[in-house]
Amino acid sequence: MKIGIDILGGDFAPKAPLDGVRMAVDLVGPDVRIVLIGDEKQIREELIASNFDSSRVDIVHAADVIGMGEHPVKALAQKPESTIATGFRLMKEGKLDAFASCGNTGAMLVGAMYTVKAIPGVIRPCITTAFPKESGGFNLLLDVGSNADCKPDVLYQFGILGRLYAEHVFGIKNPRVALLNIGEEPEKGNLVAQSAHQMMKDSRDFNFVGNVEGRDIFGDHADVIVCEGFTGNVVLKFAESFYTAIKRRNINDEYFNRFNYEIYGGTPILGVNGTVMIGHGISSPEAIKNMLLLSRDVVNAGLPEKIKQAF
């Protein structure tokens, strides 16, 4: 297995990605090879400075980088030798089993759609995040930003994608799928939520347990929670700010410590023909290490193929 990592992506590149690789290389297993995509001269200098044996990784030169503020479509067209464009080219050529980056999220989403492409039948690929349950484990929330507006059939498909991810990567048997709403009753919410509930309530594609409210996100009412990307991103950013406030006040609590994004590493783009991983722009070496480990687990689970079979 070969996992490519964008060394120039993220706010703390190239140091954080390279430190994350050094942490992961002994953990991913002997059958996994990590491919560093970035400026070769810069990478080798950093590896020498840290006394890291470069023979343990592969290096693919790509000196250009797509900035966080650049327009994804324009940047991919104008920078064919960028790290993100190079990573997707290697995936298309079958030289990578997974590609991960903490760089421009839009460019990763566009690159995935234009290069490895969506799985036939999937209307909108999406991304997810994990929220810790007070009782242990976590809830998967999707979508969290890639689709701000969704129709009911798209939300229904998110239920399928979330179920497959929870089941095959995290080993949750028959995961409970819920719809995020402003009330538990089927008639609550806007027209999209009401219609989505009608579609989901008799589903044989997943174990639908009804609506959940915002106060249930950290509870054990479900395992997968579905919403459109606008709401999901607001919830995600609120949780991040809450965790930051906890840390600023020097509060050390076992449960609240599990809000740390570093634990979860990143998220796959669910619904595309390959394992494409997106990490937070502020990712630390610990987060990047965990993103590489999750990349390995998604490949080993054969998640894209299982999604293809389901659709």
**HEC readout, the chain:** CEEEEECCCCCCCCHHHHHHHHHHCCCCCCCCEEEEEECHHHHHHHHHHCCCCHHHCEEEECCECCCCCCCHHHHHHHCCCEHHHHHHHHHHCCCCCEEEECCCHHHHHHHHHHHHCECCCCCCCECEEEEECCCCCEEEEECCCCCCCCCHHHHHHHHHHHHHHHHHCCCCCCCEEEEECCCCCCCCCCHHHHHHHHHHCCCCCCEEEEEECHHHCCCCCCCEEECCHHHHHHHHHHHHHHHHHHHHCCCCCCCHHHHCHHHCCEEECECECCEEEEECCCCCHHHHHHHHHHHHHHHHHCHHHHHHHHC
Q: What is residue 93's predicted lDDT score, i.e. its pLDDT? A: 95
Q: Do 114 and 85 fall into the same domain? A: yes
- Point out which residues pair with 278 in neighbouring strands: 101, 267
Per the domain annotation, does 33 fall within a domain? yes
* Rounded alpha-carbon distances, angstroms, from residue 239 to 145, 220, 222, 246, 257: 14, 17, 18, 11, 12
Q: Do 297 and 221 fall into the same domain? A: no
Q: Do 26 and 85 fall into the same domain? A: yes
Q: Do 113 and 133 fall into the same domain? A: no
* Predicted confidence (pLDDT) at residue 285 exceeds the cutoff of 90: yes
Omega of the bond leading into 304 within 30 degrees of 0 (cis):
no
> pLDDT over 90 for what percent of the chain?
94
- What tokens does 58 get? 């592969």
**112: containing domain:** 2-118+271-310
Q: Do 33 and 52 fall into the same domain? A: yes
Q: Do 154 and 242 fall into the same domain? A: yes
Residues, the chain, total?
A: 311
Per the domain annotation, does 37 fall within a domain? yes
Per the domain annotation, does 265 fall within a domain? no
Q: Do 144 and 104 fall into the same domain? A: no
Domain end call among 220, 239, 259: 259
When the pLDDT of each residue in the chain is averaged and rounded to a whole number, the result is: 95
Q: What is residue 147's predicted lDDT score, i.e. its pLDDT? A: 93
Per the domain annotation, does 225 fall within a domain? yes
Per the domain annotation, does 278 fall within a domain? yes
Q: Do 102 and 142 fall into the same domain? A: no
Confidence of residue 311 (pLDDT cuts 50, 70, 90): very high
* Predicted confidence (pLDDT) at residue 54 exceeds the cutoff of 90: no
> What confidence tens digit (pLDDT) does each residue in 201-257 have?
999 999 999 999 999 999 999 999 999 999 999 999 999 999 999 999 999 999 999
> What confidence tens digit (pLDDT) does each residue in 87-146 have?
999 999 999 999 999 999 999 999 999 999 999 999 999 999 999 999 999 999 999 999
* Predicted confidence (pLDDT) at residue 272 exceeds the cutoff of 90: yes
Per the domain annotation, does 137 fall within a domain? yes
As a whole number, mean pLDDT of residues 16-36 equals 95
